[in-house]
Amino acid sequence: MYVAVKGGERAIDNAHRLLADRRRGDRTVPELSLAQISEQLALGVDRVMVEGSLYDRELAALAIKQARGDLIEAIFLLRAFRATLPRFGATEPLDTAAMQVQRRISSTFKDVPGGQILGPTFDYTHRLLDPQLDLGSDPELPERAPVSSEDMPRVTDILGRDGLIEASPQADAEVPVGDLTREPLSFPADRDLRLQNLARGDEGFLLALGYSTQRGYGRSHPFAGEIRFGEVELEFVAEDAGFAVPLGTIAVTECQMVNQFKGSATQPPCFTRGYGLAFGQSERKTMAMALVDRALRARELGEDALAPAQDEEFVLSHSDNVQATGFVEHLKLPHYVDFQSELGLLRRLREEFEQDAGNNGAMQEAAE
């Protein structure tokens, strides 16, 4: 006799129990600590903080551990926690010119005030697997230099002084900065919301889109005007105090792309900007973000918007990996009611097709 499937609740509980076991893995292997993740998988933690929209290394490390290293799952965990936090307001704009720089490069000038600083980078490493790391490593301590007191002006500011690059499109200080986690996105979206969307956006998606602009799908002739990574101070104006209170410092990466010209009959030609900013050391992310930001400014700059990366609604609607993974993976859920509804329709269409074929055959015979 047929009995309908029951016991889903126990199945779920058992699945979660098994998952917890698999997450732990072989119990003779020491368990990862959050400090180990935060210190030794630091770039993974950075990515989870950026796309999770929450600057908390410890929670990001916890999320990575809980997610068994699945970064999108970790981002999701962090986002779901973030959604329960009260929102006090927005900080003052970061002053990245005052950054305590650990890395700073410009590809547009051989040398710039403050110098080129390579910092901790994979660039110029030869990608040869290092078996030494398996045996445990105790690398040489880094070379140190005294903290420089020299100013490190942003390359775009240097170009800006001569009017060679457009003024940074300034947000109206009177208008509160948008927040797409508090208001549904509508189109066309202002640049503050676009940048927020890109900062939260999937690194892989932005990378592919940025790459596509280089290959001619919305080409913008980009130069990496400057990439800098380091610590910046965060300030918040408390209503009661009436002045800006420092909250501490956070590590961010900023990329300013310098792109080909705009100009008109009344305005001399100048370079245009694409901007990327992310928590931690997130170079690939900020570079891709800057390319896509520039591509999305097509409408504002009077360019044809024909390429995917220039299509605001397309880019902003599909950049979020938590949304994307949820909807792609929801195909795992039971769909048998709608599937069988289609199955019924298909059977009926096929029956009618057979009947028609039969009738036609019969008619043909009669005619012969």
Partner 1 sequence: MNAPSYNFAYLDEQTKRMIRRAILKAIAIPGYQVPFASREMPMPYGWGTGGVQVTAAILGPSDVLKVIDQGSDDTTNAISIRKFFAKTAGVATTTRTDEASVIQTRHRIPEAPLHEGQVLVYQVPIPEPLRFLEPRETETRRMHALAEYGLMHVKLYEDIAKFGHIATAYAYPVKVAGRYVMDPSPTPKFDNPKMDNCPALQLFGAGREKRIYAVPPYTEVVSLDFEDHPFTRYRQNAPCALCGAEDSYLDEIVTDDKGGRMFVCSDTDYCETRRAEGHFGSANAPETERADV
- 81 interacts with partner 1 by CB under 8 A: yes
Q: Is 84 in the site for partner 1 (CB under 8 A)?
A: yes
**In the complex, what is the shortest distance from the CB of residue 90 to partner 1, in angstroms, rounded to a whole number?**
16
> Per DSSP, which regions of 68-214 are E strands?
100-105
**57 near partner 1, judged by CB under 8 A:** no
359 in contact with partner 1 (CB under 8 A): no
89 binds partner 1 (CB under 8 A): no
Binding status of residue 88 toward partner 1 by CB under 8 A: no
Question: For the CA atoms of the chain, what is the radius of gyration?
Answer: 27
Nearer to partner 1, 149 or 186 (CB): 186
Nearer to partner 1, 97 or 177 (CB): 177
Q: Judged by CB under 8 A, which of 137, 187, 215, 364 binds partner 1? A: 187
Q: Which is nearer to partner 1, 144 or 182 (CB)?
A: 182
The CB-of-316 to partner 1 minimum distance in angstroms stands at 10
Looking at the DSSP bridge assignments, the partners of residue 224 are 257
Strand positions, DSSP E, 158-265: 223-237, 244-262
Give the binding range for partner 1 (CB under 8 A) out of 81-89, 190-198, 206-214, 279-287. 81-89
Token pair in block for residue 160 = 């800006």
Within 8 A by CB and 6+ apart from 248, the residues are 233, 234
Chain residues 37-56 in contact with partner 1, contact rule CB under 8 A: 56
77: enclosing H helix or E strand: helix 71-82
Strand partners, 51: none
Query: Is residue 59 part of the contact set for partner 1 (CB under 8 A)?
Result: yes
Indicate the residue type of 15.
A
CB of 202 to partner 1, least distance (A): 14
Number of residues that bind partner 1 (CB under 8 A): 55
CB 190 → partner 1: shortest distance, Å?
15
Nearer to partner 1, 168 or 340 (CB): 340
The interface region with partner 1, picked from 20-28, 74-82, 236-244, 255-263 by CB under 8 A, is: 74-82
Question: 3-state SS of 298-334?
Answer: CCCCCCCCCCHHHCHHHHHHHCCHHHHHHHHHHHHCC
Q: Which tokens go with 130? A: 């290092």
- Tell me how many helices (H) and strands (E) the chain has: 12, 4
Residue 91 CB burial class (10 angstroms; 0-12, 13-18, ≥19): middle
Q: How far is the CB of 334 from partner 1 (least distance, A)?
A: 5
- The residue type at 88: F
Contact 296, 190 (CB under 8 A): no
Is position 58 an interface residue for partner 1 (rule: CB under 8 A)?
Answer: yes
User: What tokens were used for 365?
Assistant: 């015979």
Instruction: Rule CB under 8 A: say whether 190 interacts with partner 1.
Output: no
Instruction: Count how many Cα atoms sit within 13 Å of the Cα of residue 232 in the half-sphere of its side chain.
Output: 21
Among 329, 364, 366, 368, binds partner 1 (CB under 8 A): 329
Q: What order do you get walking across the sheet with 270-279 strand by strand?
A: 100-105, 223-237, 244-262, 270-279
Binding piece for partner 1, criterion CB under 8 A, among 72-80, 89-97, 106-114, 146-154: 72-80
Binding mask 236-265 for partner 1 (x = CB under 8 A): ------------------------------
- Tell me how far apart the 2 most distant CA atoms of the chain are, in Å: 102
- Pair 214, 291: CB distance under 8 Å: yes
The dihedral over CA atoms of 286, 292, 296, 300, expressed in degrees to the nearest 10, equals 60
The answer to whether 31 contacts partner 1 (rule: CB under 8 A) is no
348 binds partner 1 (CB under 8 A): yes
Q: Quick check: 80 binds partner 1 (CB under 8 A)?
A: yes
Q: Within positions 298 to 327, which residues make up the interface with partner 1, using CB under 8 A?
A: 313, 317, 322-323, 325-327
Binding site for partner 1 (CB under 8 A): 1-2, 4-9, 11-12, 56, 58-59, 62, 76, 79-84, 86, 181-188, 313, 317, 322-323, 325-330, 333-338, 340-345, 348-349, 352
